[in-house]
């Protein structure tokens, strides 16, 4: 088949990967000169441990395997199986970590004391009780992953990248872009992320997704290796794997501080290949979103990160905001729906997009019998 992928982000690119791997010709069309949405404005985390039991965890675990296989072929994505440490500083936080580690579900969790935590990640020299270690988590480089994947796809001779074109119409033969050019294809897959207007709205109406805005930042190089991804215990409040009596106790006895609660935030910290740190993040759900970034969350992140590192966070050199789409159907990993005889819309993985995109694309390929 000849498959048209609309959208140049990680979800669209992983759909292109699946199609080419299965022997099809692919044209991937992106309205910007390069992907500029949530696919590049994230941590690059392949985050397995915190996922909800059932389909979400299964999808994330399968995606982790696929990311590693891709990383073996495409060195440029910067895949590394670095795992994660969710560091705890109070007895209430330790209780949540202990409950997660004692679960019968196999998530790769292990409870570490403070000495074991520092041995695994010597860059953490702050004052803490221990950490929840997850050996399943990994990372890639979000700013370069898509171009690296496309370069590998181009070697097949069956892949064409068409940037700077916005799709205006869907026909029985393919799509028409804003220059009037027709791109012919047997199947059209719309992976347009948080952009749900224009042609997407004409085809799908109001899709059952909501938009979520986040703030993040990047620092100067740390000056040493951060061997794992690092999270603070506020992450327990935002990931479904940790729900239970221990988390209820944490929320009741140790509520989030005013700034963290207002911004619905946690600390995640990932070292980039150049030594810098990506830190975040916040969550904003009510539109219209702010057009500016606010400083209080960054001050909070710097304080928490510095407490775990045992020294001041390196100077922040970049700040940004991003918006992603999240399906409102909590029973689904992504919104996948047929919107025309020859077209499907796949969007709304939420904060799972970078993690789950290879498996989501694999599921689309199976469902569409590619």
Q: What is the CATH number of the domain that holds 277?
A: 3.30.9.10
d(CA 95, CA 109): 14
Write the burial class of residue 214 (CB in 10 Å: 0-12 exposed, 13-18 middle, 19+ buried). buried
| HSE-CB for 197 with a 13 A CA cutoff | 2
Angle made by CA atoms 254, 255, 260, in degrees to the nearest 5: 130
| 57 found inside a domain | no
Residue 11 is assigned to a structural domain of this protein: yes
Q: What is the pLDDT of residue 104?
A: 84
pLDDT of residue 43: 97
247-266: string of b/e by CB count within 10 Å (b at 16+)? beebeeeeebeebbeebbbb
Note whether 234 and 288 are same-domain residues.
Answer: yes
Phi, psi torsion values for 261, nearest 5 degrees: -70, -40
Mark whether 169 and 222 lie in a shared domain: no
Please give the tally of structural domains in the chain: 2
CA distance 296 to 309: 20
149/277 same-domain check: no
Whether residues 164 and 302 fall in one domain: no
Rounded distance between C-alpha atoms, residue 108 and residue 204, angstroms: 39
Count of residues in the chain: 370
One domain for residues 191 and 283 = no
Do 219 and 279 fall within a single domain? yes
CA–CA distance, 257 with 206 (Å, rounded to integer): 36
Residues 309 and 230 in one domain: yes
Assess whether 170 and 249 both reside in one domain: no
Confidence (pLDDT) at 44: 97
Residues 237 and 105 reside in one and the same domain: yes
Measured on CA atoms in the order 71, 6, 356, 293, is the torsion positive or negative?
A: positive
pLDDT tens figures, 5-58? 999 999 999 999 999 999 999 999 999 999 999 999 999 999 999 999 999 999
| H or E segment and range at residue 167 | strand 167-171
Same domain, 297 and 183: no
Q: Identify the CA nearest to 158 among candidates 44, 28, 56, 24.
A: 24
What CATH number does residue 34 fall under? Answer: 3.50.50.60
Same-domain status, 223 and 297: yes
Both 193 and 306 in one domain: the answer is no
pLDDT tens per residue, range 276-293: 999 999 999 999 999 999
Helix, strand or coil for residue 84? strand
pTM above 0.85, yes or no: yes
Q: Evaluate whether residue 47 is within a structural domain.
A: no
* pLDDT for residue 265: 97
Assess if residue 299 is contained within a domain. Answer: yes
In a domain, 76, yes or no: no
Q: Look up the domain containing 323 and give its range.
A: 84-135+209-327
Q: What's the confidence (pLDDT) of residue 27?
A: 98
Q: What is the mean pLDDT of each run of 10 residues along the chain (370 residues)?
A: 97 98 98 94 96 96 98 97 98 98 92 98 98 98 97 98 97 96 97 94 94 97 98 97 97 96 97 98 95 96 98 97 96 96 97 97 97
Burial tier of 180 (Cβ tally within 10 Å: 0-12, 13-18, 19+): exposed
């Amino acid at each position: 088949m000849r498959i048209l992928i609309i959208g140049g982000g990680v979800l669209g690119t992983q759909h292109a990967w699946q199609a080419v791997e299965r022997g099809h010709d692919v044209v991937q069309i992106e309205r910007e000169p390069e992907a500029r949405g949530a696919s590049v404005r994230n941590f690059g985390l392949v985050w397995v441990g915190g996922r909800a039991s059932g389909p979400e965890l299964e999808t994330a675990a399968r995606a982790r395997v696929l990311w590693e296989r891709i990383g073996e072929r495409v060195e440029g994505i910067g895949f590394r199986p670095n795992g994660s440490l969710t560091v705890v500083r109070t007895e209430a936080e330790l209780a949540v970590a202990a409950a997660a580690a004692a679960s019968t579900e196999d998530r790769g969790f292990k409870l570490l004391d403070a000495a074991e935590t520092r041995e695994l990640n010597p860059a953490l020299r702050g004052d803490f009780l221990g950490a929840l270690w997850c050996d399943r988590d990994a990372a890639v480089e979000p700013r370069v992953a898509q171009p690296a994947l496309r370069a590998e796809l181009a070697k097949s001779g069956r892949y064409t990248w068409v940037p700077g074109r916005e799709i205006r119409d869907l026909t029985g033969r393919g799509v028409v872009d804003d220059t009037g050019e027709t791109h012919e294809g047997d199947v059209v897959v719309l992976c347009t992320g948080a952009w749900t207007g224009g042609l997407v709205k004409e085809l799908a109406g109001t899709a059952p997704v909501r938009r979520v805005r986040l703030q993040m930042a990047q620092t100067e190089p740390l000056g040493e290796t951060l061997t794992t991804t690092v999270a603070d215990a506020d992450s327990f409040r935002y990931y479904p794997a940790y729900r239970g009596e221990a988390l209820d106790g944490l929320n009741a006895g140790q509520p989030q501080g005013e700034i963290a609660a207002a911004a619905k935030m946690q600390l995640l910290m990932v070292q980039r290949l150049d030594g810098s740190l990506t830190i975040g993040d916040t969550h904003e759900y009510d539109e219209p979103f702010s057009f500016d970034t606010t400083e209080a969350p960054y001050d909070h992140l710097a304080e928490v990160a510095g407490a775990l590192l045992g020294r001041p966070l390196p100077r922040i050199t970049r700040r940004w905001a991003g918006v992603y789409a999240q399906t409102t159907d909590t029973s689904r990993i992504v919104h996948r729906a047929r919107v025309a005889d020859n077209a499907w819309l796949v969007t709304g993985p939420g904060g799972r997009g970078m993690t789950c995109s290879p498996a989501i694309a694999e599921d689309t390929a199976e469902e569409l019998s590619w």
